């Protein structure tokens, strides 16, 4: 499981001209599932993400977590994150990516687990072509691999 974490002031996802998910102040997450990912990895990742002290305090130091700033999550499934770019040639290899039916189930579990923790969680649509607009806060970006 690979998650690209971006701290944002605002983010929204649009499908066919319609906004389907939107947050203010929080985290835009691009989540890529790999073969072998499971609920244990999801729970570990969520706990890590929501407890990361990556939001600024009054002294502009990264000292606050998502809950401290009443932030939300916009979770976007992204099968390209596990791509292997080091093989020969110029076309990414997606052999490490979880199969679509498995990845969709894992994505739904990720979202469900976030909501169980009372985190405002917005989503895109699994497998859809989406337009994601965001206003970065920083920029502050991290890659979490589990």
| Residue 37, domain CATH | 3.50.80.10
pTM over 0.75, yes/no: yes
Q: Cβ contacts of residue 86 below 8 Å, gap of 6+?
A: none
pLDDT digits (tens, 9 = 90+) for 3-51: 999 999 999 999 999 999 999 999 999 999 999 999 999 999 999 999 9
Number of domains the chain contains? 1
Residue 41 domain flag: yes
Joined together, the tokens standing for residue 19 give 């906004």
Distances (CA, A) of 118 to 30, 65, 98, 100, 141: 20, 14, 27, 27, 23
Residue 143 lies in a domain: no
């Amino acid at each position: 499981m690979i998650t690209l974490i971006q701290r944002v002031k605002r983010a929204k996802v649009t499908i066919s001209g319609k906004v389907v998910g939107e947050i203010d102040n929080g985290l835009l997450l691009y989540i890529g599932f790999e073969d072998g990912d499971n609920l244990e990895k999801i729970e570990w990742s969520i706990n890590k993400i929501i407890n990361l002290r990556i939001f600024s305090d009054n002294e502009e130091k990264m000292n606050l977590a998502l809950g401290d700033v009443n932030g939300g999550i916009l979770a976007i499934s992204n099968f390209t994150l596990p791509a292997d770019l080091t093989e020969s040639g110029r076309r990414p290899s997606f052999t490490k990516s979880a199969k679509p039916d498995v990845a969709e189930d894992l994505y739904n579990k990720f979202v469900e687990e976030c909501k169980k923790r009372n985190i405002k969680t917005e989503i895109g649509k699994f497998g859809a072509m989406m337009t994601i607009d965001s206003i970065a806060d920083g920029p502050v970006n991290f890659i979490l691999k589990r």
